[in-house]
Every structure is written in structure tokens, then in C-alpha cells.
Amino acid sequence: MNRLAIAILLGLSGLLLYVVAVVALADFVIGLHWTVQALYYLVTGLVWAIPISWLMRWAARGRAPAGDAREG
């Protein structure tokens, strides 16, 4: 299995687990002040991008750059 396939499987399963956790924790935030809710949704809406970017960089590592003579 190549890096891209592993990254896709890890990314999708990790994102699914992250969404389930965020939704489950949101129940505790619902009754709080609106600014706390906004901060929670802002942070949780952006935090997922960090591990996904690491995963994308890892999956792309070792591949020939675009326009490289080794392609084709």
C-alpha cells in the first residue's frame, strides 16, 4: 500500500473520529455564553487542519515534483 492510500484512509478515519468527538463535546458548550461557544467552534473548526496538513506532507514526501524529468 503506498503513502497516498494510507494517508487517505488515515485522514478519513481520523476526521470522522474528530467530528464525533467535537460534536459530543459540543453538548457541554451549548449552555455556555455565546462567546465561549463561538471560541469553541472557531478553534475546533481550525484545529483539524494541523494534523491533516502533516498527513498531506507525509503522503507527498518521496514523490517526484511536478515537471520533473523522471515523470512520464
**Where residue 2 falls among pLDDT bands split at 50, 70, 90?**
confident
Contact 24, 72 (CB under 8 A): no
Does residue 52 have a pLDDT over 60? yes
% of residues, the chain, pLDDT over 90: 71
3-state secondary structure of 71: coil
**Global confidence as pTM:** 0.74
Helix (H) / strand (E) containing 69: none
Q: Which cell numbers in the block locate residue 22?
A: 467535537
Fill in the DSSP letter of residue 17.
H
Distance CA(7)–CA(22), nearest Å, equals 22
